[in-house]
Amino acid sequence: MAERQWARLRADVNCDLRRGAWYRLLRAAPLEVVVDVKGNPTPVPRPFVEILAIPPQRWTVVPRPDNAPRLPATWGPYYAVCPSCRDRAPVHGRPTNLRCQRCNGLFDIAWNEEYLASAF
């Protein structure tokens, strides 16, 4: 891998990756990728991830998991994940962009991604 790449979950599985968050790809093999999770190399089965060659620039909207004890109930059926710092935020209505309270980045919201196809 010559250039940096990014990966995120594309399957609803429980692993060390947050749904919707992008991680720097460290290594890729046919059956497994290794991503950087807070400085720790973390292996993930390759079929479970989506890979990009450029850093993401839009919020990912994530359907609320059935068992999400740390997400406030007031956030509703989905939330957004910041493309820069991976912080989560509530999304009410269908705004076109959102400012991150953690990193202060202003990014468009990726309402049209396939990530949403099964949920919306």
> What is the pairing mode between strands 106-109 and 58-63?
parallel
Per domain, the residue ranges of the chain are: 5-52, 58-116
The per-residue pLDDT for range 20-52, each reduced to its tens digit, is: 899 999 999 999 999 999 999 999 999 999 999
What is the rounded CA–CA span in Å between residue 17 and residue 104? 23
Degrees, nearest 5: CA angle 66-32-117: 40
Paired residues of 7 in beta bridges = 23, 51
Paired residues of 27 in beta bridges = 34
The answer, as to whether pTM is greater than 0.85, is no
The Cβ of residue 36 has, within 10 Å, a number of other Cβ atoms equal to: 13
Region 5-52: CATH code = 2.30.30
Q: How confident is the model at residue 120 (pLDDT cuts 50, 70, 90)?
A: very low
